[in-house]
Amino acid sequence: MPRAMTSARVRVAVLVAAGIALLSTSPTTQAPPAGSAPAPAFDISGYWTSPLHEDSMERGAGPEIADYGGFPISEAGRLFALSYDPSRLTLRHHQCDGYVMPYQLRALGNSRAWEERDPHTHTLVAIHWFSQTFEGKRTIWMDGRPHPPAYAAHTWMGFSTGRFVGNALEVRTTHLKQGWFRRNGLPESDQATTVEFFVRHGDHLIHTAVISDPVFLSEPLVRTTDFYRQPIDHQSWLFPCDDGEQILGRAPDDVPNYAFGQNPFVGEYSKKHQMPAIGQLGGVATMYPEIEARLRSARMGDGMEAARPTGPVVTSKAANPEPTDGDVHIWPLREKLYMLTGDGGNIVVQTGDEGAFVVDTGTGSLAARTIAAIRRLTDNPIQFIANTGFHSDRTGGNVALRAAGADPSLRGTFFSLQFRNAGSQATIIGHQNLQNRMSEAGMNSEGFPTDTYLEERRRTFHNGEAIEMMWQPNAITDGDSIVHFRRADVIVAGNVFTTTQYPFIDLAHGGSVAGEIRALNEILNRTVYQHQEEGGTIVVPGRGYVSDEHEVVEYRDMVVIVRDRIRALMKGGATLAQVKAARPTADYDARYGATTGRWTTDMFVEAVFRSLSDSQKQAK
């Protein structure tokens, strides 16, 4: 063999050896830099199908009525579910309700997951999961971004962030809408948060959800769901839904529901399955092994007392969505509209080529910061201030904001010939009754509306947008308005709608429960959802987080249902004390209730009671 050829073979062998050595050593050099996120432990991408080998009735045809066994629900959760009438789904604003995560993941149907990578670094930015049923699309952010503030909007899928821990994908979710644990009325509140774990074993994906809900659960609910990887496209991904008229001629304040203890179907499950109520009606005890022995010795009716309010009075377990750091925070809504929050009541600012159009001014204790925040949004002056109500959380900053603004549209008019200072301050718009109430209350006249209206609506076209201000007679007071920015499609609801408390029905200033329901329905008459009762028209509550029609309809339902209960008790001859003792708000108190402060549960119940009494007197 020629010497040159032998040397070449030696060189090749050494190169191979070096290559093998490199293959062995490279992992050390490929270790991720300190502090970076762990690399994905598995690939979740692909088509997934859940085999429905657990809870197939519930997840397929549907659960049985009043079957809550194994759910660690609170009294509020149980009473809400027992009050639920499935006919509620015939209401226009419920027909296309989406599924809330994680209920969505247990639904029948196909799923698809894919990764989103940074195009330059190829680091994992997000994992996307699409479920066919109700076209639920969620994004799990993997790039370390923070969750949005508590006053941001809630969605069916919530806001999720993830990280890989060991061999699992761990996901945290907040900002969920109110939805279902089970679609027989068992509710998951908008205060629920979840921690989830995904693990993959070959073509088998297991999803574990730990759901904490301070309103409707007493302990976290754990659910595990299996998926199997499909090698081909399911070719079935859509779930269209448009609402329509299902029951003609129904009154707009008709929300199907059962009074406490009056659900006629509660006993069906018990009878069919010979299941004592202590199991059927759920609660923490039903998910632990000891329930098996208890059920062996229980009689059929045992535990049925839980179908009525029996527990102690509770107060709101909801997190306060308003910042309390002494600053005014800006949150973009849509186009050139912003929500300012932090001064005790939400403020909305529209900017553009003309001056700023501001709706409500907060309590005024942070007025200087509110003005500074508006200056950050626009160089133009505050030109208009619209008030949705006369209470101090709507008008408290009127004087300061008015003084800080100017209304150029008044300069050079006949008006300015009559009044030397015309246009030197912002113009305040409100219903005439609002001005009357401010005057009666002895509020600073510098903050009174300077431009009032008397009937139906006030309209203007400002900053390239139609703005309507609509009177809501006898709702919170007799001078409330809602404001609709029509191009941006943002409705500012004032205290007619909040996410923080029962409606502050101010009987002494012309409020009524009927007017409040009418006002909420007026908002719902104007909203258009984008997809499955979500998105579309933005509704800014007087207090609380940015909403859409789903939050409004749940709130409307609550007011109607509480009214129905109190009205039924009154028909039975109950006194105010007896009505309060019956706890007609028992399923909502953990969300909105209060025993101290400016607006307690008792005050709300009394306001509804007296409002209904007044209506009865007027009818006679």
Partner 1 sequence: MKQVRWAALAALLIATTFGIVARAQRGGPPGPRTPQQAAPTDLTGYWVSLVTEDWRYRVVTPPKGDYTSVPLNPAGRKVADGWDPARDNAAGESCRAYGVGGVMRLPGRLHITWQDERTLKVETDYGSQTRLLSFTPPASAAPDWQGASLATWDRSEPVIGGGFFGPAPAAGGSLKVVTTGMKPGYLRKNGVPYSAGAVITEYFDRFNVPDSDPLLVVTTEIVDPTYLSQPFWTSTHFKRQADATGWNPTPCRAQ
Task: Kindly tell me which of 55 and 468 has the beta carbon lying closer to partner 1.
Answer: 55
Residue 117 within binding range of partner 1, rule CB under 8 A:
no
Shortest spacing between CB 447 and partner 1, in angstroms? 46
What is the distance of C-alpha 569 from the center of its chain?
Answer: 31
Q: Binding pattern to partner 1, positions 262-301, x when CB under 8 A? A: -----------x-x---x------xxxxxxx--x------
Residue 45 within binding range of partner 1, rule CB under 8 A:
no
Q: Interhelix angle for 601-619 vs 513-526, to 10°?
A: 100
Residue 319 within binding range of partner 1, rule CB under 8 A:
no
Task: Kindly tell me which of 296 and 420 has the beta carbon lying closer to partner 1.
Answer: 296
Cβ atoms of 189 and 217 within 8 Å: the answer is no
Residue 199 within binding range of partner 1, rule CB under 8 A:
yes
Structure tokens belonging to residue 55 = 């809870």
Contacts of 331 (CB under 8 A, 6+ apart): 149, 151, 152, 338, 339, 340, 341, 546
Query: Phi, psi at residue 566, to the nearest 5°?
Result: -65, -40
Residue 30 within binding range of partner 1, rule CB under 8 A:
yes
Cβ atoms of 399 and 364 within 8 Å: the answer is yes
Stretch that binds partner 1, among 50-58, 388-396, 478-486, 596-604 (CB under 8 A): 50-58
Shortest spacing between CB 175 and partner 1, in angstroms? 18
Beta bridge partners of 347: 340
Stretch that binds partner 1, among 55-63, 122-130, 378-386, 605-613 (CB under 8 A): 55-63
What's the sign of the alpha-carbon dihedral 260, 261, 265, 271?
positive
SS3 at position 188: strand
Structure tokens belonging to residue 376 = 């950050």
Torsion of CA 541, 545, 551, 555, to 10 degrees: -60
Stretch that binds partner 1, among 30-38, 153-161, 391-399, 520-528 (CB under 8 A): 30-38
Stretch that binds partner 1, among 39-47, 328-336, 383-391, 435-443 (CB under 8 A): 39-47
Shortest spacing between CB 166 and partner 1, in angstroms? 2
What is the distance of C-alpha 472 from the center of its chain?
Answer: 24
Among 37, 152, 210, 330, binds partner 1 (CB under 8 A): 210
Cβ atoms of 483 and 386 within 8 Å: the answer is yes
Cβ atoms of 66 and 263 within 8 Å: the answer is yes
User: Which residue bears the tokens 């199997």?
Assistant: 228
Residue 223 within binding range of partner 1, rule CB under 8 A:
yes
Residue 415 within binding range of partner 1, rule CB under 8 A:
no
Cβ atoms of 219 and 72 within 8 Å: the answer is yes
With CB under 8 A, what is the number of residues at the site for partner 1?
71
Distance CA 273, CA 271 (A): 6
Among 90, 92, 116, 164, binds partner 1 (CB under 8 A): 164
Report the site for partner 1 in 66-95 (rule: CB under 8 A): 67, 69-72
Report the site for partner 1 in 428-487 (rule: CB under 8 A): none
Stretch that binds partner 1, among 37-45, 364-372, 385-393, 509-517 (CB under 8 A): 37-45
Shortest spacing between CB 93 and partner 1, in angstroms? 30
Residue of 280, 519, 483, 306 lying closest to 388 (CA atoms):
483
Residue 101 within binding range of partner 1, rule CB under 8 A:
no
